[in-house]
Amino acid sequence: MKTFTDKVAAITGAGSGMGRSLALELARRGAHLALSDIDEASVTHTAIACRALGARVTSQRLDVADRDAVFAWARDTAAAHGKINLVFNNAGVSLSVPVATARLEDIEWLMNINFWGVVHGTQAFLPYLTASGDGHIVNTSSLFGIIAMPTQSAYNASKFAVRGFTEALRMELELAGSPVSCTCVHPGGVATNIVTASRIDDSIAAFTGIDAQTHRRRANKLIDVTSADAAARQMLAGVERNARRVLVGPDARRVDKLARLLGASYQAMVVWFYRRSAMSGKRSADAANARTAATDSSTN
């Protein structure tokens, strides 16, 4: 897709983060938008900002885990805009918990959004993208769709699934001679609210040596590598060159090279890192407890 001018793009998770940045960047480039998010107030805010840039915008609350609702949104978008050229299956959530203590309902919650939301969006919009004669599907995987990490089994499963689903879809579209193409996006650390909104189980302390609150605080620092605006521009550049895969951020590119170089051996490196981190966390906790005990002793 060489230009976004007068194209119609549907974006899930458009209320914040990369979804909001994608909407604003597309509006600046002359596209029209159908926006959705589970948070109606946030997506309404994005819609107002995009209209101010001259875009024609529709928006609504949407749970991408609800297949019927996603298909209805696709029909409504086609009716309102007359055509659909792009869909960005961007909505996502995260979960940090060891496999042994993971609750099935938490895994299902994550998979229904991160994987099934992508499937629903792809299948719902594909007929309209085909009818447009110039369509593109952009599915968001992750850095963790390239390598796996302890306590991220469910998230890894969803993002590896998105990668496999999208790569298979790309080949099917090529074999069929379809006017639609697709791209799989692997963001590294992008400054969004995904960690703030994530579910983190207290049992991760056994692996990380730190409690859930500290884990969330550290994770927020780790994702602050690439701004959401920069990520959006990299994603759109990938669509323009019809890339099969887009690695967003320097950390994603480094990890991709590491995975290619080491193969499955990267896992031993991760295990070493986690053991070292757990030991460091335990030393920090022991030191904090010692300081507390000394303070209590001096005041008694």
Q: With pLDDT > 90 as the criterion, what percentage of the chain qualifies? A: 70
Higher pLDDT, 188 or 262: 262
Rounded distance, CA 224 to CA 217, Å?
A: 11
Higher pLDDT, 210 or 245: 245
On the question of pLDDT at 288 being above 50, the answer is: no
The pLDDT value recorded for residue 250 is 87
On the question of pLDDT at 292 being above 60, the answer is: no
Q: Look up the pTM and report it.
A: 0.86
Tokens of 235: 């994603």
The pLDDT value recorded for residue 2 is 86
- The domains of the chain, with CATH numbers, are 8-286 (3.40.50.720)
Q: Is 155 a catalytic residue?
A: yes
On the question of pLDDT at 45 being above 50, the answer is: yes
* Given the residues 128, 155, 266, 274, the one annotated as active site: 155
Tokens of 39: 């948070």
On the question of pLDDT at 251 being above 80, the answer is: yes
What residues have CB less than 8 Å from 110, skipping those under 6 apart? 93, 94, 95, 154, 155, 158, 199
User: Are the C-beta atoms of residues 146 and 259 closer than 8 Å to each other?
Assistant: yes
Run of H or E residues at 36: strand 32-37
Q: Taking residues 80-96, what's their average pLDDT?
A: 96
The pLDDT value recorded for residue 215 is 56
Q: Taking residues 263-284, what's their average pLDDT?
A: 75
Please, which pLDDT band fits residue 14 given cuts at 50, 70 and 90? very high
Range in 40-49, 187-196, 199-208, 233-242 the model is least confident about: 187-196
Nearest to 173 by CA among 211, 229, 135: 135
Tokens of 40: 């109606």
Among the residues of the chain, which ranges form H helices?
A: 17-28, 40-51, 67-81, 104-114, 116-132, 153-175, 205-208, 212-222, 228-240, 250-262, 266-299
The pLDDT value recorded for residue 295 is 47
The pLDDT value recorded for residue 240 is 97
